[in-house]
Amino acid sequence: MDYQLDLNESDFLNNYWQKRPVILKRGFKNFIDPISPDELAGLAMESEVDSRLVSQQDGKWQVSHGPFESYDHLGEHNWSLLVQAVNHWHEPCAALMRPFRFLPDWRIDDLMISFSVPGGGVGPHLDQYDVFIIQGTGRRRWRVGDKTPLKQHCPHPDLLQVEPFDAIIDEEMEPGDILYIPPGFPHEGYSLENALNYSVGFRAPSGRELISGFADFVLARELGSRRYNDPDIAMRDCPAAILPQELDGIRQLMLEVIDQPEQFRHWFGEFISQSRHELDIAPPEPPYQPDEIYDALQQGDKLTRLGGLRVLKIGEAVFINGEQLESVHPAALSALADKQTLSLRDFGDALDDPAFLAQLAGLVNSGYWFFNEE
Ligand code: SIN
Ligand code: CO
């Protein structure tokens, strides 16, 4: 299914993105759910899939984590099943994220799907990331408050909520409606009927994550070997004092490690192309020989990218799932980064180069791209 987003994208970026929440009424016209509640419940029974059940009775909240063995104990009210990164496991769900590629791939994270019965929801809360919440089947009332300081509390150790807030958006969403919420705006969804919601989530690294990720890279590559030196060391009254210029020197030394553009690009590409959730990797058995890949493409077979695989570009460098790919065929690599499915002509004459073909076979044999059986 090809989902078409009915949105003036530049208007959205100028007026709403990271600024204020908005309902995109019928953002998807004639919306058809890419998954059924039963299929979603089935996914939450798989050990690789990250899921949770949140329920509430008279203000008492409960959370349990998947994989689930059965749902027989659940009633008809006040619970919600939430499944993370469904785009990694279910191709039709992955298709629902593609219309959001007017925002950069590196900022897009994954698709979380919830199924809620009447009264179901996770309660009022804040998220650290932008999200588009698409209403699927059923109606659900969504309230969003302004970004003001709110007290947070944990009604259950696995649930962080905020105190009640005044709504700036309060709407019953219908299938195909989309609610965009920037980080930090309190919100809550309260189901009126059995309802499916699809959350296209974004990612925005914090300084802490970046420093920690960069430190790993520095250690792995043994960078930053230069040591502090002080040929112009100053006399001081107090031997215990660290002087401001010395602190500056230390900071300068550290910044120098970051301030190497080539290394920095390489690190960030590796860092940001890693997926935060497990991938459904199933390497082909037996592996493909490069000439079999060539023949299949010549016959018109198409290569499809594994759902959730992150493929990003910095200049001509392409990063796939945490690794930089070196190639003398930037156009072909670029096609791998840009397109969901690829056919013969997307690769141009790169396929005539045995080195590129071997590289492509490596990617297929890693389970990153596969021939679809259409
Ligand atoms: C949901 O309940 O479907 C979404 C939860 C959220 O607000 O992030
Ligand atoms: Co939320």
Nearest CA to ligand 1 atom 7: 188
pLDDT band at 374 (very low <50, low <70, confident <90, very high): low
Report how far residue 60's alpha carbon sits from residue 37's, in angstroms, rounded to the nearest whole number: 25
Residue whose CA is at the smallest distance from ligand 1 atom 2: 121
Question: Tokens representing 373?
Answer: 């059986």
**Residue 122 Cα: closest atom of ligand 1:** 2
Both tokens of 287, joined, read 């592996």
SS (H, E, C) 309-336: CCEEEECCEEEECCEEECCCCHHHHHHH
Atom of ligand 1 nearest to the CA of 127: 8
CA 351 to chain centre: 31
pLDDT tens-digit readout, 203-259: 999 999 999 999 999 999 999 999 999 999 999 999 999 999 999 999 999 999 999
| Ligand 1 atom closest to the CA of 120, numbered from 1 | 2
For the chain, percent of residues with pLDDT exceeding 90: 97
pLDDT at residue 59, rounded to an integer? 87
pLDDT for residue 328 is more than 90: no
Half-sphere exposure of 114 (CA within 13 A, CB side): 28
Residues in the 5 Å CB sphere of ion ligand 2? 127
* Mean pLDDT to the nearest integer, 318-347: 94
Average pLDDT over residues 104-110: 98
Average pLDDT rounded to a whole number, residues 47-57: 96
What percent of the chain stands above pLDDT 70?
Answer: 99
DSSP, res 240: T
Ligand 2 centroid, distance to 244 Cα (angstroms): 44
The mean pLDDT of 356-372, rounded to a whole number, is 96
Answer yes or no: is the C-beta of 187 below 6 A from any ligand 1 atom.
yes
Determine whether the shortest distance from the Cβ of 114 to ligand 1 is under 6 A: yes
3-state helix, strand, coil in the chain (%, to 5): 30, 25, 45
pLDDT above 60 for 323 = yes
**Mean pLDDT over the full length of the chain:** 96
Average pLDDT over residues 303-330: 95
Ligand 1 nearest atom to the CA of residue 125, by list position: 7
Question: What would the two tokens of residue 55 be?
Answer: 């329920």
What is the number of the ligand closest to the CA of 188? 1
The closest alpha carbon to 181, from 134, 234, 222, 221, belongs to: 134
Residue 199 beta carbon below 6 angstroms from any ligand 1 atom: yes
Reply yes or no on whether the pLDDT at 264 is more than 60: yes
Which ligand 1 atom is the nearest neighbour of the CA of 114? 3
> What is the band of 326 on the pLDDT scale with cuts at 50, 70, 90?
confident
- Angstrom distance (rounded) from CA 56 to CA 69: 20
pTM score, whole prediction: 0.94
Our answer on whether the CB atom of 121 is closer than 6 Å to any ligand 1 atom is yes
Q: Ligand 2: distance of its center to the CA of 111 in Å?
A: 13
Residue 56 has pLDDT above 60, yes or no: yes
Q: Could you tell me the pLDDT band of residue 87, with boundaries at 50, 70 and 90?
A: very high
CA of 169 to the centre of ligand 2 (A): 14
Q: Looking at residue 373, what is its pLDDT?
A: 67
CA of 105 to the centre of ligand 2 (A): 21
Rounded-to-10 torsion of CA 213, 215, 219, 220: 20
* Ligand 1 close to Cβ of residue 56 (< 6 A): no
Chain segment 116-168, per-residue pLDDT in tens: 999 999 999 999 999 999 999 999 999 999 999 999 999 999 999 999 999 99
Interval 163-179 mean pLDDT: 97
Residues 6+ apart with CB under 8 A from 78: 55, 56, 57, 117, 118, 119, 120
- Let me know: does 90 contact 39? Beta carbons within 8 Å: yes
